[in-house]
């Protein structure tokens, strides 16, 4: 693009291009359930590095002792990433989210669920409701917890099930499992 264009004009041109090709972009960005589940892998190099940063003060890290404190740090880290909503399907890598400090709700939920899995939570999952609201759920010491990715709010106990009273779960997943609650 010509260097003599002002930033506002360049932005308008980019917006024109995106709007014209949003259906094509969305189609190219479609992912299967299996592909999305693979993103929740605790073995991702970027996630391991982030996990090591979050657990640096805990030597050695012990799940039974340290998980909730480090999980709260992970939630705090996710809160530093601004939430963006765009009108097309577009997945960001964890590295892109870290660099830009922005991500979609599902991308943020995937990052948090992956971090919790890397912190040895066997049941951390991304939860999606019928109205497509996205949450991250996990259990620790017999209590259910729910994280709202947009705000970073952590709900525990009975409060963790309240969002589903009027908007039931459609499905949940992690790298270990997938459950469809809409099947008969």
Q: For the chain, what's the residue count? A: 184
pLDDT of residue 119: 97
What does the block give as tokens for 8? Answer: 């506002």
Q: Is residue 27 part of a domain?
A: no
Residue ranges of alpha helices (H) inside the chain are: 7-29, 33-38, 45-54, 63-79, 94-100, 105-118
Beta carbons of 176 and 126 less than 8 angstroms apart: no
Decide if 106 contacts 134 (C-beta within 8 A): yes
Number of domains in the chain: 1
Residue 117 included in any domain:
yes
Asked whether residue 5 is assigned to any structural domain, the reply reads no
Residue 145 counted as domain residue: yes
| 184 or 146, greater pLDDT | 146
Residue 46 lies in a domain: yes
| Residues near 126 by beta carbon (within 8 Å), at least 6 away in sequence | 40, 106, 109, 110, 113, 134, 135, 136, 172, 173, 174
20 occurs within a structural domain: no
pLDDT for 11: 79
Band of pLDDT at residue 25, cut at 50, 70 and 90: low
Give the pLDDT of residue 1.
47
28 CB-near residues (< 8 Å, 6+ apart):
none
- The CATH number of the domain where 139 resides is what? 3.10.620.30
Domain that holds residue 85: 32-180
pLDDT in tens, 37-82: 777 788 889 999 999 999 999 989 999 999 999 999 999 999 999 9
Q: What is the DSSP string of 102-146?
A: EE-HHHHHHHHHHHHHHTT-SS-EEEEETT--EEEEEEETTEEEE
First to last CA, the chain: 54
pLDDT value for 20:
78
What are 129-179's pLDDT values in tens digits? 999 999 999 999 999 999 999 999 999 999 999 999 999 999 999 998 999
Tell me if 153 is assigned to some domain. yes
Is 130 a member of any domain?
yes
């Amino acid at each position: 693009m010509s260097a003599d264009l002002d930033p506002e004009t360049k932005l308008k041109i980019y917006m024109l291009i995106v709007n014209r090709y949003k259906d094509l972009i969305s189609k190219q960005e479609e992912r299967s359930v299996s592909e999305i589940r693979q993103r929740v892998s605790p073995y991702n190099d970027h996630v391991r590095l982030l996990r090591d940063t979050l657990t640096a003060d805990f030597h050695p890290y012990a799940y039974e002792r340290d998980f909730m404190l480090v999980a709260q740090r992970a939630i705090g880290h996710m809160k530093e990433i601004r939430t963006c909503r765009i009108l097309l399907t577009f997945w960001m890598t964890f590295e892109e989210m870290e660099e830009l400090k922005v991500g979609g709700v599902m991308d943020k939920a995937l990052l948090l669920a992956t971090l919790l899995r890397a912190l040895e939570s066997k049941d951390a999952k991304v939860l999606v409701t019928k109205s497509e609201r996205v949450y991250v759920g996990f259990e620790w010491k017999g209590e259910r917890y729910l994280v709202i990715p947009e705000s970073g709010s952590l709900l525990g106990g009975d409060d963790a099930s309240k969002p589903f009273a009027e908007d039931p779960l459609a499905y949940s997943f992690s790298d270990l499992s997938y459950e469809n609650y809409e099947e008969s």
